[in-house]
Amino acid sequence: MKKYLIVGLGNIGEEYKNTRHNVGFQILDHLAEKNQLGWEVKKLGSYTSLKVKGRQFILIKPNTFMNRSGKAVRYWALQEKIPLENILIATDELHLPFGSIRLRSKGSPAGHNGLKDVEAQLNTPHYSRLRFGIGQEQKAYDQVKFVLDPWDKKEEDALPKIIEKCAEAIICFGLEGINTAMNKFNGSI
Protein backbone atom coordinates (compact mmCIF):
# COMPACT_ATOMS: atom_id res chain seq x y z
CA MET A 1 0.00 0.00 0.00
CA LYS A 2 1.39 3.40 -1.01
CA LYS A 3 1.81 5.80 1.91
CA TYR A 4 1.51 9.58 2.00
CA LEU A 5 2.51 11.91 4.80
CA ILE A 6 0.17 14.89 5.12
CA VAL A 7 1.28 17.43 7.71
CA GLY A 8 -0.86 20.40 8.70
CA LEU A 9 1.12 23.24 10.22
CA GLY A 10 -0.12 25.16 13.24
CA ASN A 11 0.47 25.93 16.89
CA ILE A 12 -0.84 23.87 19.78
CA GLY A 13 -2.94 25.47 22.50
CA GLU A 14 -6.42 26.92 22.83
CA GLU A 15 -5.22 30.48 22.22
CA TYR A 16 -4.19 29.50 18.66
CA LYS A 17 -7.10 27.21 17.81
CA ASN A 18 -9.13 29.43 15.47
CA THR A 19 -6.33 31.65 14.14
CA ARG A 20 -5.25 32.15 10.54
CA HIS A 21 -1.85 30.58 11.24
CA ASN A 22 -3.56 27.32 12.27
CA VAL A 23 -5.41 26.65 9.03
CA GLY A 24 -3.16 23.61 8.40
CA PHE A 25 -4.56 22.04 11.57
CA GLN A 26 -8.11 23.03 10.54
CA ILE A 27 -7.74 21.33 7.15
CA LEU A 28 -6.56 18.07 8.73
CA ASP A 29 -9.23 18.27 11.45
CA HIS A 30 -11.87 18.58 8.71
CA LEU A 31 -10.45 15.59 6.81
CA ALA A 32 -10.40 13.50 10.00
CA GLU A 33 -13.91 14.53 11.04
CA LYS A 34 -15.32 13.93 7.56
CA ASN A 35 -13.93 10.38 7.67
CA GLN A 36 -14.85 9.77 11.33
CA LEU A 37 -11.23 9.45 12.44
CA GLY A 38 -9.94 10.10 15.94
CA TRP A 39 -6.60 11.71 16.77
CA GLU A 40 -3.98 9.93 18.86
CA VAL A 41 -1.16 11.83 20.59
CA LYS A 42 2.12 10.25 19.53
CA LYS A 43 5.73 11.36 19.29
CA LEU A 44 6.00 14.98 18.07
CA GLY A 45 2.31 15.37 17.25
CA SER A 46 -1.24 14.18 16.87
CA TYR A 47 -1.63 11.25 14.47
CA THR A 48 -4.40 9.62 12.50
CA SER A 49 -4.51 7.53 9.34
CA LEU A 50 -6.94 7.37 6.44
CA LYS A 51 -7.14 4.70 3.74
CA VAL A 52 -8.54 5.60 0.32
CA LYS A 53 -8.44 3.34 -2.76
CA GLY A 54 -5.31 1.43 -1.76
CA ARG A 55 -3.48 4.50 -0.46
CA GLN A 56 -2.72 5.29 3.17
CA PHE A 57 -2.69 8.92 4.25
CA ILE A 58 -0.78 9.51 7.51
CA LEU A 59 -2.12 12.78 8.93
CA ILE A 60 0.08 14.65 11.41
CA LYS A 61 -0.48 17.83 13.40
CA PRO A 62 2.93 18.63 14.97
CA ASN A 63 3.02 19.58 18.64
CA THR A 64 6.39 21.28 18.18
CA PHE A 65 4.92 24.73 17.43
CA MET A 66 5.01 26.22 13.95
CA ASN A 67 8.67 27.25 13.84
CA ARG A 68 9.90 23.72 14.68
CA SER A 69 7.48 21.76 12.46
CA GLY A 70 10.27 20.22 10.40
CA LYS A 71 11.32 17.97 13.26
CA ALA A 72 7.92 16.22 13.21
CA VAL A 73 7.89 16.03 9.39
CA ARG A 74 11.34 14.42 9.31
CA TYR A 75 10.55 12.01 12.15
CA TRP A 76 7.28 10.74 10.63
CA ALA A 77 8.70 10.50 7.10
CA LEU A 78 11.49 8.27 8.43
CA GLN A 79 9.23 6.37 10.84
CA GLU A 80 6.69 5.51 8.13
CA LYS A 81 9.31 5.16 5.34
CA ILE A 82 7.57 7.76 3.19
CA PRO A 83 9.52 9.08 0.19
CA LEU A 84 9.92 12.82 -0.30
CA GLU A 85 7.57 12.89 -3.29
CA ASN A 86 4.76 11.53 -1.06
CA ILE A 87 4.95 14.35 1.49
CA LEU A 88 2.49 17.24 1.45
CA ILE A 89 2.58 20.17 3.88
CA ALA A 90 -0.65 22.17 4.38
CA THR A 91 -0.15 25.70 5.67
CA ASP A 92 -1.29 29.32 5.61
CA GLU A 93 0.08 31.80 3.07
CA LEU A 94 0.06 35.51 3.88
CA HIS A 95 0.96 36.52 0.31
CA LEU A 96 -2.03 34.87 -1.35
CA PRO A 97 -5.51 36.40 -1.36
CA PHE A 98 -7.92 34.92 1.15
CA GLY A 99 -9.67 31.88 -0.28
CA SER A 100 -7.06 30.93 -2.84
CA ILE A 101 -5.23 27.60 -2.87
CA ARG A 102 -1.78 27.02 -4.31
CA LEU A 103 -0.25 23.57 -4.60
CA ARG A 104 3.41 23.22 -5.60
CA SER A 105 5.85 20.32 -5.80
CA LYS A 106 8.72 22.49 -4.53
CA GLY A 107 9.54 26.09 -3.79
CA SER A 108 10.88 28.58 -1.33
CA PRO A 109 9.51 29.09 2.18
CA ALA A 110 8.61 32.69 1.17
CA GLY A 111 9.30 33.92 4.70
CA HIS A 112 7.17 31.22 6.38
CA ASN A 113 9.10 30.00 9.43
CA GLY A 114 7.32 26.65 9.55
CA LEU A 115 8.29 25.91 5.93
CA LYS A 116 11.84 27.16 6.59
CA ASP A 117 12.18 24.55 9.33
CA VAL A 118 10.68 21.79 7.16
CA GLU A 119 13.18 22.63 4.41
CA ALA A 120 16.08 22.65 6.91
CA GLN A 121 15.05 19.30 8.45
CA LEU A 122 14.46 17.61 5.08
CA ASN A 123 17.55 19.30 3.64
CA THR A 124 15.68 20.18 0.44
CA PRO A 125 12.97 22.50 -0.92
CA HIS A 126 11.67 19.60 -3.03
CA TYR A 127 8.55 18.60 -1.12
CA SER A 128 4.94 19.36 -2.00
CA ARG A 129 2.96 22.02 -0.23
CA LEU A 130 -0.63 23.20 -0.17
CA ARG A 131 -0.78 26.89 0.66
CA PHE A 132 -4.06 28.36 1.89
CA GLY A 133 -4.31 32.09 1.13
CA ILE A 134 -5.05 34.12 4.23
CA GLY A 135 -4.38 37.45 2.47
CA GLN A 136 -3.49 40.72 4.08
CA GLU A 137 -5.36 43.82 3.04
CA GLN A 138 -3.07 46.40 4.62
CA LYS A 139 0.62 45.86 3.90
CA ALA A 140 1.75 48.05 6.82
CA TYR A 141 -0.22 45.91 9.26
CA ASP A 142 1.68 43.88 11.89
CA GLN A 143 2.10 40.50 10.14
CA VAL A 144 2.67 38.48 13.32
CA LYS A 145 -0.50 39.88 14.88
CA PHE A 146 -2.44 39.30 11.66
CA VAL A 147 -1.56 35.59 11.34
CA LEU A 148 -2.16 34.97 15.05
CA ASP A 149 -5.51 36.78 15.07
CA PRO A 150 -8.76 34.79 14.81
CA TRP A 151 -10.62 34.68 11.51
CA ASP A 152 -13.01 37.59 11.01
CA LYS A 153 -16.72 36.86 10.51
CA LYS A 154 -16.62 37.06 6.70
CA GLU A 155 -13.62 34.69 6.55
CA GLU A 156 -15.18 32.31 9.05
CA ASP A 157 -18.34 32.07 6.95
CA ALA A 158 -16.30 31.23 3.83
CA LEU A 159 -13.94 28.73 5.53
CA PRO A 160 -15.97 25.49 5.30
CA LYS A 161 -16.16 25.56 1.50
CA ILE A 162 -12.45 26.38 1.06
CA ILE A 163 -11.31 23.85 3.67
CA GLU A 164 -13.39 21.16 1.92
CA LYS A 165 -11.61 22.00 -1.36
CA CYS A 166 -8.27 21.63 0.43
CA ALA A 167 -9.33 18.20 1.74
CA GLU A 168 -10.28 17.17 -1.81
CA ALA A 169 -6.91 18.46 -3.06
CA ILE A 170 -5.08 16.31 -0.49
CA ILE A 171 -6.88 13.15 -1.60
CA CYS A 172 -6.26 14.06 -5.26
CA PHE A 173 -2.54 14.50 -4.46
CA GLY A 174 -2.41 10.91 -3.18
CA LEU A 175 -4.59 9.33 -5.86
CA GLU A 176 -3.62 11.30 -8.97
CA GLY A 177 -0.34 13.10 -8.16
CA ILE A 178 0.76 16.65 -7.55
CA ASN A 179 0.44 17.81 -11.18
CA THR A 180 -3.19 16.77 -11.45
CA ALA A 181 -3.94 18.28 -8.03
CA MET A 182 -2.32 21.55 -9.13
CA ASN A 183 -4.36 21.65 -12.34
CA LYS A 184 -7.63 20.90 -10.55
CA PHE A 185 -7.29 23.00 -7.40
CA ASN A 186 -4.89 25.94 -7.87
CA GLY A 187 -6.64 29.30 -7.82
CA SER A 188 -9.45 31.00 -5.99
CA ILE A 189 -12.53 29.23 -4.76
Q: What pLDDT shows up at residue 141?
A: 62
Amino acid identity of residue 36, one-letter, is Q
Q: What pLDDT shows up at residue 187?
A: 87
CATH number of the structural domain spanning residue 16: 3.40.50.1470
Record the pTM. 0.94
Strands 100-104 and 128-133: antiparallel
Average pLDDT, the chain: 93
In the predicted structure, residue 108 carries a pLDDT above the cut 70: yes
Domain holding 77, by residue range, is: 2-188
Residues 6+ apart with CB under 8 A from 121: 70, 71, 73, 74
* Residue 112 annotated among the catalytic residues of the structure: no
Q: Which residue has the higher pLDDT, 142 or 160?
A: 160
Q: How many domains does the chain contain in total?
A: 1
Please list, residue by residue across 67-102, b when 16 or more beta carbons sit within 10 angstroms of its beta carbon and e when fewer do: ebbbbbbbbbbeebebeeebbbbbbbbbebebbbbb
Integer Cα distance of 155 and 71 in angstroms: 31
